[in-house]
Structure 1
Amino acid sequence: MDYIHLRDMQFFGYHGVLPEENVLGQRFRASVSLAVDIKRAGETDNLEDTVSYVGVYYICKEVIEGEPFKLIEAVAETVANRILSQYEGAVFGCRVEIIKPDPPIPGHYKEVAVEIVRGTFS
């Protein structure tokens, strides 16, 4: 299995349970790993033989900067579903991590995050 990684993408969105999250918005970070077979692309040097990470980036951007969700679990699930649907047959599985670096939680912590794995990812 081969992998394509998009690491630490940064967006601004309005996801959250608390009303101020939906009004003020906040930063989100996302990392995505795709399980693919890119042997042919390595041999041919042809974009048509791989998955365009530009397209994957725009899926993440559209979901995270788009319609608000209450839970980052739903954000991650939507990103994974869109990737697997758009690249059906080319992406066997994906790992999606959504990070809220500044959630409105009193206390000391670096960030909160969810990570999901969908499809075949080994």
Structure 2
Amino acid sequence: MKMDRMSFFGKHGVFEEERKLGQRWYVDLDMQMSLQEAGLYDDLEQSINYALIHETVRVIMEEESYLLVEALAERIASVLLDTYDRIEEITVRVTKPNPPFDIRFEGVTMEIVRARAEEVERGEG
């Protein structure tokens, strides 16, 4: 399941003015999960509700604040993996479209891929 170009107004960045004034941000998600049961049975319980995913990301983007785009992407991945058991692997792409630098380019994008860690049973030796 992909969710592309979600738009948020967040107060993130290294510069104090960025955290004070805020700016537009974009988030793309690519979530790997089994959706066969949802498709076969037309059952939302066998999928994930993308409105709830959007709200989870909105809270992180608009109600929290981070200095680094890297930290923002890690937080989104971590929360979504912890909250939604169906997600096996997630790619999070966070874009800051108009960074306040003296050089000209369209934006900064951070992309990370995270997977659910398998629990390993440890026996006493």
Same fold by TM-score greater than 0.5: yes
3-state SS of 2:110 partner = strand
Q: What stretches of structure 1 of length at least 5 have no aligned partner?
A: none
1:94 partner letter: I
- 1:1-122 pair list within 5 angstroms: 4-88=1-85, 90-119=86-115
Query: Offset at 1:33?
Result: 0.8
- Normalised by the size of structure 1, how large is the TM-score? 0.92
- Write the deviation string for residues 43-99 of structure 1: whole angstroms up to 9, x where unpaired: 0001001011111111110101012100011111111011101112x1101000000
- Write the deviation string for residues 9-35 of structure 1: whole angstroms up to 9, x where unpaired: 000010001010011111100000100
Percent identity reads 34
CA-atom RMSD in angstroms: 0.9
| Matched residues, number | 116
Q: How far apart in 1 are the matches of 2:65 and 2:38?
A: 36
**Structure 1 residue runs of 4+, over 6 Å off?**
none
Q: What stretches of structure 2 of length at least 5 have no aligned partner?
A: 117-125
**Higher-strand-fraction structure:** 1
1:17 partner letter: V
Select the structure of larger CA radius of gyration: 2
Query: Offset at 1:112?
Result: 0.5
1:101 partner letter: P
